[in-house]
Structure 1
Amino acid sequence: MEGVLEDRQLELNRRGALKGIAAGTATLVAPTAYARIAKPKRYAIVGAGHRSRMYQDAIWGAHKATSHLVAVCDKNPGRAAYVQRRAADAGAAPPRTFLHTDFDKMLAETSPDVVIVTTPCAHHSEYIVRALDAGRDVVTEKAMTTTAEETQQVLDAARRNNRHVRVTFNYRYGPIRTQIKELLMSGAIGDVLSVDFHWLLDTVHGADYFRRWHSRKEISGGLMVHKATHHFDLVNWWLSAMPVRVDATGKREFYTPGMARRLGLSGYHERCRTCTEKAACSFYLDLAANPSLKALYLENEHYDGYFRDQCVWRPEIDIEDTMNVIVGYDSGATLSYSLNACNAWEGYSVAFNGTRGRLEHSLIERSFVTGTAPPPDDVKNASIRLYSLREGSREIEPRLGDGSGHAGGDSVMLADLFGEHQLDPTLRAADERAGAASCLIGIAANRCFTTGKPVLIDELVTGLRRPDLAPMPTRADRVPMPPRPTAS
């Protein structure tokens, strides 16, 4: 099978790969890369919104020798034409453009090797399945799907076509997050018993989810699916474990008409551009003031009626802004997770409790409005601390990235996706099995919000197999006796 992940299936020689990691001094370096690219791969992108820009820029920039964008498909012809202009500006051949209704025509006439799906989340499964059935490899943005039914369709299509779907979990590739994985693999805290993970979105980035299509659960799956799929995947990958049981509660209390009135406004409005209280609202977004947002959305909204600057206080918003989740894993570990979209700072803290100690990691990010130019370095502050049972603690120097998005993960992931394949003992490349394991936690959480009852993952889909995951310490390993406590 020649698929996007074919080289990931090779047997990895991991001996010696983790030496020194427990001390926090080693850097996992992949063996010498080997190329299998005889000619540039042909790519087609479905969905021309801002999510596709990262892939466009990679194909026209750092990876132009191995990649060729031959087509773009979108329901908005203005946005598709904008991609053509961006290609010309980058010195690349403009891709052909197609309406979303001509997807099959695009495949037939441009013969892409790989289809990259960057539509709103609820439409992912349709194009993933159609591309697989047409014999194409598929790369999809997260979340892979938004419902259990869509997840089942993708799993079934991958199986009947004997192909894998690449899910672009760029958080795995952030050097500091890979460093956490290496520490856990090394046995620095033994086998993991529990995880405490708290993600905070501030009222710049967090509010932006409530302006866009993301504010409708039928399109995004809510923040439990669209956003938290990143975080659930990190935990699944960090633990090398599969989720079994989910319990959750969620609510929307900040982004409401009532909060607008508490902030001194008369209430909600349709959008920022026509708002009569824009001068009084610090959540006002001026699309015309940002060249990127203006070219991509404002100048093209007459094609499909999509407003990128919808009011964050609208009553029809049906996603939560405050969520808490408990997940049980097949390894025996448990996760306690929270996501808050109206916080005072942006970032996260995570702690792993193990049989030999505790590993803490926190990161504060620089916030920005999606679709605008991100800051040159999105990490403000990062820390790692390792605690050993009865032996004190020590700081470990965080391994920071190159300043590209998602704590340096974007450039590493794009090199893995479009460049030469390299051996990776941490197995960061994710396929449809990992994509399903992640989004199903969010899908289960959404069901918990409605029913008030816990959900078993195997009640949602059938045939979900365990993805390729790196070996970890287990409950069968011997645990050294900790030192006797010293007198206080």
Structure 2
Amino acid sequence: MKKAKYALIGTGGRAEFFYGSLAKDFRETGELVAFCDVNQTRMNYANKLLVEKYEHLEVNTYLAKDFERMIEREKPDYVIVTTVDRTHHTYIVKALEAGCNVITEKPMTVDTEKCQEIIDAVNRTGREVRVTFNYRYAPHNTKIRQLIRDGVIGEVFSVNFEWALDTQHGADYFRRWHRDKRNSGGLLVHKSTHHFDLVNYWLGTEPDTVYAQGGLRFYGKENAESRGETKFYQRAYGSRNSKGDPFAIQLAENEHLKAMYLDAEIEDGYQRDQSVFGDGISIEDTLGVIVQYKNKAILNYSLNAYLPWEGFIISFNGSKGRIEVKVREQTYINSGGDKSDEGAIQEKFIQVLPMFGKPYEVEVEETGGGHGGGDPVLLRDLFGTPAEDEFRRAATHVDGAMSILTGIAGNISLRTGQAVKVDELIKL
């Protein structure tokens, strides 16, 4: 069988999840041929990991300005896009038009214009875009899909969904490039795309109308000052004020973070360790969203990024009963540790409450790997020989669009104070 050839653009924190898997587990079905990035130091470090950690040969490297030349020379079948969110569409569209299929990290993009560009490019080229929603593959989330699909609680009328980010993981979005909404679309797009996709997937429907409220309530200099906090600094590196601060990340003390970010600053000036209580944060940390879906179900959703625990609490209310779910996750700092720890399950509870029956708990067997065992299944689906999937977890560009459009509509609602009709945002 001919191996598929893969090139990857964006060798930051999320990239190793993909290239490490290709190098280690899927050598028989896939071949990694090139890295592309705006930063040569970071690509050199990715190659170093390939050789020392994965016993793989170095691959060719190209600066981002030479992206088209890379495709012309390397002729990849797939381009993996793991760049800053606001640039996803640029490389997705260029790859599609060069004859490649695309695997992209979530979110697919950050606003309606860029989303439309991707949709038009797929329609124009006939090529494929896969969006890597690993939460779909987590066994407990698949089980929820099965329970709803099988009509255990009948028709679902409403969903209450609370997502909690703790002060380790949640704070990290306010240190990185994500803190600028132009880069990430804010947490309603960058993070909540996972959650909105899950609701679309669980209920088998699409969003119709979105209304949102929220703001920056905990992080940021103004909020810290209002609480009487005075321990300010612009970034942790080189600051005595950051020592012992639980909200600071010390790049120099972590070999991996130092090599990937601190040593690479000389090229692009990107600071991975900005203060969560500094200026320049334009994303929200406290969010509430109401969504009505095309099947008339209603979602009441909240996200908070500064809580004492990490995970989600959700309830589904249907014509024949109720499902209650609580999942507590392992906290994780992006690029700061073992990828298998990401989203690892610490506590899990799924209970069905029939309308006229005795409540019962649903057991779900977790397997090894990140996100409760979902990551290895996703990677096999992407790079190996995928097994037949009755749950149809592979996500297309339409799935990617429907998830981000809930968040994009939420961002519009935050600005205008009005409910937003999703169908008016783009044309499929």
What is the TM-score with the length of structure 1 in the denominator?
A: 0.85
> What residue in structure 2 maps to residue 52 of structure 1?
15
1-side partners of 2:365 and 2:154: how far apart? 22
Which of 330, 351, 376 is the equivalent residue of 2:294? 330
1:455 to 2:420 alignment: yes
Alignment of 1:24-39 (within 5 A): 38-39=1-2
> What residue in structure 1 maps to residue 242 of structure 2?
278
Give how far 1:401 is off.
Answer: 2.5
Opposite residue 445 of structure 1, the aligned amino acid is G
Query: What is the SS of the residue equivalent to 1:101?
Result: helix
Q: Contact between 2:17 and 2:339, CA under 8 Å: does it hold in 1?
A: no
Measured against aligned partners, the alpha-carbon deviations of 1:395-420 in whole angstroms (never above 9, x if no partner) come to 11123221x11222111100111111
> What residue in structure 1 maps to residue 91 of structure 2?
127
> What residue in structure 2 maps to residue 412 of structure 1?
377
Query: What is the SS of the residue equivalent to 2:264?
Result: helix
Opposite residue 398 of structure 2, the aligned amino acid is R
1:176 to 2:159 alignment: no
Q: Contact between 1:172 and 1:178, CA under 8 Å: does it hold in 2?
A: yes
2-side partners of 1:250 and 1:293: how far apart? 32
Which of 102, 106, 111 is the equivalent residue of 1:147? 111
1:395 to 2:358 alignment: no
- CA-based RMSD of the aligned residues comes to 1.3
1:63 to 2:26 alignment: yes
Q: Contact between 1:261 and 1:267, CA under 8 Å: does it hold in 2?
A: no
Q: Contact between 2:14 and 2:334, CA under 8 Å: does it hold in 1?
A: no
Which of 348, 357, 374 is the equivalent residue of 2:321? 357
Measured against aligned partners, the alpha-carbon deviations of 1:181-200 in whole angstroms (never above 9, x if no partner) come to 11111110011111111000
Give how far 1:88 is off.
Answer: 1.3
Opposite residue 208 of structure 1, the aligned amino acid is D
> What residue in structure 2 maps to residue 444 of structure 1?
409
> What residue in structure 2 maps to residue 466 of structure 1?
none
Query: What is the SS of the residue equivalent to 2:242?
Result: coil
Measured against aligned partners, the alpha-carbon deviations of 1:165-185 in whole angstroms (never above 9, x if no partner) come to 000000000011111111111
Measured against aligned partners, the alpha-carbon deviations of 1:237-284 in whole angstroms (never above 9, x if no partner) come to 001101111000011110021343466642532200132412352212
1:302 to 2:260 alignment: no
> What residue in structure 2 maps to residue 33 of structure 1?
none
Q: Contact between 1:215 and 1:222, CA under 8 Å: does it hold in 2?
A: yes
What is the TM-score with the length of structure 2 in the denominator?
A: 0.97
Query: What is the SS of the residue equivalent to 1:315?
Result: coil
2-side partners of 1:93 and 1:376: how far apart? 23
> What residue in structure 1 maps to residue 224 of structure 2?
260
Q: Contact between 2:231 and 2:241, CA under 8 Å: does it hold in 1?
A: no
> What residue in structure 2 maps to residue 476 of structure 1?
none
Which of 101, 120, 130 is the equivalent residue of 1:137? 101
> What residue in structure 1 maps to residue 284 of structure 2?
320
Alignment of 1:109-128 (within 5 A): 109-128=73-92
Opposite residue 458 of structure 1, the aligned amino acid is D
Show structure 1 runs of 5+ residues with no match.
1-37, 464-488
> What residue in structure 2 maps to residue 35 of structure 1?
none
Q: Contact between 1:129 and 1:154, CA under 8 Å: does it hold in 2?
A: yes
1:432 to 2:425 alignment: no
Query: What is the SS of the residue equivalent to 1:61?
Result: helix
> What residue in structure 2 maps to residue 164 of structure 1?
128
> What residue in structure 2 maps to residue 469 of structure 1?
none
2-side partners of 1:199 and 1:385: how far apart? 18
2-side partners of 1:425 and 1:68: how far apart? 28
Give how far 1:370 is off.
Answer: 1.1
Give how far 1:63 is off.
Answer: 1.1
Q: Contact between 1:171 and 1:234, CA under 8 Å: does it hold in 2?
A: yes
Opposite residue 54 of structure 1, the aligned amino acid is F
1:238 to 2:202 alignment: yes
Query: What is the SS of the residue equivalent to 1:277?
Result: helix
Show structure 2 runs of 5+ residues with no match.
none
Query: What is the SS of the residue equivalent to 1:297?
Result: helix
Alignment of 1:6-45 (within 5 A): 38-45=1-8
Q: Contact between 2:22 and 2:32, CA under 8 Å: does it hold in 1?
A: yes
**Distance 1:375-1:300 versus aligned 2 partners, 3 A rule:** closer
Give how far 1:373 is off.
Answer: 1.3
